[in-house]
Amino acid sequence: MTAPASKLTSSIFWQYSTRRYASNDMAPLALLLQDNHGVNVNVLLLMCWCLENNVIVNLIQMKAIVAAITESDKQLQAHRLQRKAAHPDNGGQKAHYEVLKAQELELEKQQQAAMIEAFNTQDVMTLPSGSLSTKTTIFNASIAAFINAYALKDSEEARQLLSLVVNQLPN
- How many domains are there within the chain? 1
* 68 located within any domain: yes
Is residue 87 a contact partner of residue 58, using CB atoms and an 8 Å limit? no
pLDDT at 137: 47
* 1 located within any domain: no
* 2 located within any domain: no
Is residue 3 a contact partner of residue 57, using CB atoms and an 8 Å limit? no
3-state DSSP assignment of residue 129 = coil
- Radius of gyration of the chain measured on its C-alpha atoms: 17
- Hey, which residues does 55 pair with through a beta bridge? 126
* 27 located within any domain: yes
The closest alpha carbon to 37, from 144, 145, 156, 118, belongs to 156
* 59 located within any domain: yes
Q: Where are the beta strands (DSSP E) in 12-118?
A: 55-56
pLDDT at 125: 87
* 4 located within any domain: no
pLDDT at 142: 93
| Global confidence as pTM | 0.89
pLDDT at 133: 42
pLDDT at 107: 97
Is residue 54 a contact partner of residue 129, using CB atoms and an 8 Å limit? yes
* 5 located within any domain: no
Is residue 55 a contact partner of residue 142, using CB atoms and an 8 Å limit? yes
Domain that holds residue 25: 10-167
pLDDT tens series, the chain, 171 aa: 444 546 899 999 999 999 999 999 999 999 999 999 999 999 999 999 999 999 999 999 999 999 999 999 999 999 999 999 999 999 999 999 999 999 999 999 999 999 999 999 999 988 776 544 444 445 789 999 999 999 999 999 999 999 999 999 986
* 138 located within any domain: yes
Residue 51: C-alpha distances to residues 46, 87, 126, 137 (Å): 9, 35, 10, 12
pLDDT at 138: 57
Residue 147: C-alpha distances to residues 119, 140, 142, 166 (Å): 17, 12, 9, 12
